[in-house]
Amino acid sequence: MKWRHLGILGAAVLSSMMASAAFAEDASGDTIKVGILHSLSGTMAISETTLKDAMLMLIDEQNKKGGLLGKKLEAVVVDPASDWPLFAEKARQLVAQDKVAATFGCWTSVSRKSVLPVFKELNSILFYPVQYEGEESERNVFYTGAAPNQQAIPAVDYLMNEGVQRWVLEGTDYVYPRTTNKILEAYLKSKGVAAADIKVNYTPFGFSDWQTEVSAIKDFGAAGKKTAVVSTVNGDANVPFYKELANQGVSAEDVPVMAFSVGEEELAGIDTKPLVGHLAAWNYFQSVDTPENAEFIKTWHAFIKNDKRVTNDPMEAHYIGFNMWVKAVEKAGTTDPDAVIDAMVGVSVPNLSGGYSSMGANHHITKPVLIGEIQDDGQFQTVYETPGLVLGDEWSDYLPESAPLISDWRKPMNCGNFNTATGKCGGAGEKAASSN
């Protein structure tokens, strides 16, 4: 058994040495390569293609400023095609073959979890820009999208304050909706909501036949209590979902929908007039009125050569993450992953809401939380904003296995799931993470 462990240790050391050698080889190149890992085809292309374009814009803008460490940045774009195993293959290509210094990508949690082993094995860095379910903190990942306490929990609180008593948790059938809804069920019950007043339903990726599901939502909302849908429906399934809501006359006054995965980009393909008043919870809207956002939109339209192209929350997350990476590289004086990971904690950069977002020791960032109503022009009017910035909570306080866990990637702790009850790294957190 001891020899077996030594063999595993030797393999890990060899893998690390190979990654270091790859970095040393790349460091002498003429450019610093940046990986872009977003689906440009398949069911998630509706959401991810814009993020690829946003990254190209950010890289172009940085090159206009003189690049980084005296070198130009070079984008390396791959298409994992909404195919979760292909994400891992393309991630390995970016790190091992293309030798990128960092990668910006993924949307769904299943795609992120597919690539995690690659970034850990090859000791490279991933910036993940989309809201997710939490229950995770990895040394090689920086989470610039919202954790549940930066989106899902405030959204439910808002609806409760609006008098909602019955809850439809409607999601696409994969990790993010299931884990988020597990947290929300626990949270709702902690607030006194009866199990009979919570309905949970899942449909596959790309689902299009919504007639039966929407009828069930209407029936559930006909019990005499104010009802809302909390939607974690993802990708292009949102288009027929909202169309069917309109077809069946489900208005925001009757049963409001609070979406976590519908932003300006998704609404661009829908006739939004029947959807006015439905809601979304994000950390940014294109309609945010700040000089920083006005400049960002202007730069985006000039780069994309189309004044009708919208901006959205994950674009801002890439804006924040990219600028944090640039600042950390400049601070470290190198793109070496270990040095950059250490330099990232505490880095603070402007967001587009008029404040500064900072990177926490748990590799999550501080963000405002916004609730917006859909307008007939496909934009959102902010109806609620947290009074200050909120740090992403990687381990939910509402799940028993997660409540005692914290993450701190600074030395000497250097742990993503430290159990404050046992005083040890690992334990319940490993179980919680593996159950997603």
Task: Supply the pLDDT for residue 321.
Answer: 98
Q: Where are the alpha helices (DSSP H) in 122-254?
A: 152-161, 175-190, 211-220, 238-247
Residue 417 has pLDDT above 50, yes or no: yes
Distance, CA of 185 to CA of 193 (rounded, Å): 9
**What's the pLDDT at 275?**
83
Whether pLDDT at 28 is above 70: no
Structural domains present in the chain: 2-147+292-367 (3.40.50.2300), 149-282 (3.40.50.2300), 400-436 (no CATH)
Among 251, 252, 248, 275, smallest CA distance to 264 is for 275
Mean pLDDT of 223-249: 92
179, 436 in Cβ contact below 8 A?
A: yes
| pLDDT at site 192 | 97
Q: Which two tokens stand for residue 118?
A: 């690659």
Among 433, 321, 407, 331, which residue's Cα sits nearest to residue 367? Answer: 321
Nearest alpha-carbon partner for 316 in 268, 365, 278: 365
Convert the pLDDT of each residue in 294-341 to its tens digit. Answer: 999 999 999 999 999 999 999 999 999 999 999 999 999 999 999 999
What pLDDT does 98 receive? 98
> Which region among 29-33, 54-58, 162-166, 346-350 has the lowest average model confidence (pLDDT)?
29-33
